[in-house]
Structure 1
Amino acid sequence: MLLMLREIHCFTRVADRLSFSAAAADLGMSQPAMSQAITRLERATGVKLFDRTAREVRLTAEGKALLPYAEQMLESARAFTAEAARLSRPSIHLAYPPLVGTLAARIVRRLAGRNPPIGVELTVAGRGAAAQALTDGQVSAAILATPAPAQFVTAARFHVTVDHLAVPAGHRLASAQKAAAADLTGQVLLTPGTRPWTGLPGRSRMVADDDFAAALDLVAAGAGLLPIPQLLVRAIRRDDVRFVPLDAGDLRITYALAWSKDRVTPELMALVQAVQDALWTR
């Protein structure tokens, strides 16, 4: 039997309404056209779907058994259509670190609001993984902590202020109202990224791939202290770590949108503009 979606749709509407005329009205059809659709489906399946009298319409036992499958087929057809529409839209893949997830969401909304809309596939990735994905062509662009690798083009730079210090719950600074740079002398400072914290005393310990979550686990284990942006402080709740305001001057992380100069598309340029607009209006 060839797929008969229109007839199957008619079947589910009649089954729901138990009325050929009401089902026909729902679908903008005449009653004779509805009856003909059900007849075609019954002939194709070799199964009687309804018992019909002048006063009522009832599903047969066979009709009741087939109804869930009919509804499933229609749902699958709708999902197919929606996914095909999504795949037919221009799209772009963006890698970003968790720290700037709010910005990534704004970028997606901006591009979705264009005419025609541009779909964005988001991938959470640290600096190393994102740079490798860019190199391999797995993503169209990535938001990277600077300096980005020299082979990439960058634009739309922005800064994230680092104004708190994560310390273990039992540390001497855990109850402090504020920590100053001098308080960090002799301390191990965890550094998620590629460069030590500028202007801070203490000994740097690098944490691979700008992974603040992994760095916080090290803080809880007593392996060091972590300068951290308030953006993350607001989102994290841990009993084994305390967040103390940090007065350390103009401490910040700089990010930029990066892409390969060999893979420039109109969608990529629209992404660059969306990032710039999102930064300008935040």
Structure 2
Amino acid sequence: MESRFFIAPEQLEAFEAAARSGSFSAAARSLGKAQSTVSGLISNLEIDTGLQLFDRAGREPKLTAQGRALLQDVRALLNSYSRFEAKSRSLNAGLEESITLAIDESAINLQQLALSLAPFYQRYATVSLHLLHASGDSASKMVREGTADIGIVLSRGDYPEDFDFRGVGSCSFVLVAGVQHPMAQLESVSSQDLHNHLHLRISNSAEMGSLPENDLSDRIWYLESYSLFMSLLTAGLGWAFVPMHIARPHLQAGSIRVLPTDFQLTPYPYGTDLIWSRRKALGPAGQSLIDEISAVLASAQAEPA
């Protein structure tokens, strides 16, 4: 039967500190231990592994080839120990192990979302964050069914009674088409013009068979991805109402154009909400994530356009 040995974390810490600092005395100072303790821990590690990790022939110990071969693995083990200890402390303090965030890209500029996630990670590095694409009404559905803890959605007035929500900003939609599209050459676009051309809409797959008829066009394509959506628009295929934060770089690049209409003279506004269910209480990390996103979006709203 193969023999097993137990390696204590303190032995690995002493070995790594000595390898990093170049001496047992410097390792002892960095660990706040006596030099004899560090030397004993390393000697016991060598006995337990049956390997000579340091050559002690010179004035200062030098890593042997065997010691160098183990060093990266030891550092990986120590990092795992640190994560284990941090997560154990977090769970004992009531901190969530993971949070799932369902995101409707229509409702939020993803660069602003990234700004809010950076400080969250710094504060809650042990919490695993799952970021899900959720077009249309699917974010609300995920929160309702418990598959997402928090949703970022376009505002609506009929949330379920067991939902909590916080209005955190607003976005505006503009009517656009690619510069090669026939309507991009018109001085004024009527509802009949829209009716005569293909309408592109963002929707998740579950909604595609149940969406109401759109009276602006009887030719509609449904897409889940804004990446493909904008590729079709810039190629001159179809027209669409697009959130300004998604349309702006394409407008600046000159690949799409806002269509001048005789029925909608200003961009159409929507609110942005964060939603969560009262049936699944958020822990400190979830509450902090809501606060971080709210603060970043509030700051963005305060900046001049």
The answer to whether TM tops 0.5 is yes
Residues 142 and 258 in structure 1, CA contact (< 8 A), matched pair in contact too: yes
Residues 96 and 104 in structure 1, CA contact (< 8 A), matched pair in contact too: no
User: 1:118 & 1:40 partners in 2: Cα distance?
Assistant: 36
**Residues 38 and 142 (structure 1 numbering): CA distance in 2 closer, same or farther, change over 3 Å?**
same
User: 1:64 & 1:155 partners in 2: Cα distance?
Assistant: 55
Corresponding residue number in structure 2 for 1:162: 173
**Residues 65 and 270 (structure 1 numbering): CA distance in 2 closer, same or farther, change over 3 Å?**
closer
More divergent stretch after superposition (136-145 vs 14-23): 14-23
Identity rate of aligned residues, in percent?
23
User: 1:9 & 1:166 partners in 2: Cα distance?
Assistant: 62
What's the CA shift for 1:106? Answer: 5.4
SS in 2 for 1:234: helix
- 2:255 pairs with one of 214, 235, 242: 242
Corresponding residue number in structure 2 for 1:93: 100
- 1:33 pairs with one of 25, 32, 37: 37
SS in 2 for 1:33: helix
Q: Deviations over 1:65-115 (max 9, x none)?
A: 333332332233334445556666346432111231345445546767989
Runs of at least 5 residues in structure 2 that lack an aligned partner in the other structure: 204-210
For 1:7, the aligned partner's letter is Q
Q: Are 1:16 and 2:20 matched, yes or no?
A: yes
Relative to the length of structure 1, the TM-score reads 0.73
**Residues 16 and 216 (structure 1 numbering): CA distance in 2 closer, same or farther, change over 3 Å?**
closer
What's the CA shift for 1:225? Answer: 0.7
SS in 2 for 1:227: strand
User: 1:142 & 1:114 partners in 2: Cα distance?
Assistant: 21
Runs of at least 5 residues in structure 1 that lack an aligned partner in the other structure: none
What's the CA shift for 1:276? Answer: 5.3
User: 2:294 & 2:80 partners in 1: Cα distance?
Assistant: 39
Corresponding residue number in structure 2 for 1:227: 241
What's the CA shift for 1:275? Answer: 5.7
Corresponding residue number in structure 1 for 2:206: none
Q: Are 1:182 and 2:177 matched, yes or no?
A: no
What's the CA shift for 1:164? Answer: 4.8
More divergent stretch after superposition (261-270 vs 157-166): 261-270
User: 2:59 & 2:201 partners in 1: Cα distance?
Assistant: 79
User: 1:181 & 1:206 partners in 2: Cα distance?
Assistant: 18
Q: CA RMSD in A?
A: 4.1
For 2:273, the aligned partner's letter is A
Residues 95 and 283 in structure 2, CA contact (< 8 A), matched pair in contact too: no
User: 2:213 & 2:177 partners in 1: Cα distance?
Assistant: 16
What's the CA shift for 1:33? Answer: 1.6
What's the CA shift for 1:21? Answer: 1.7
Residues 234 and 256 in structure 2, CA contact (< 8 A), matched pair in contact too: no
Residues 126 and 209 in structure 1, CA contact (< 8 A), matched pair in contact too: no
SS in 1 for 2:25: helix
User: 1:60 & 1:23 partners in 2: Cα distance?
Assistant: 17
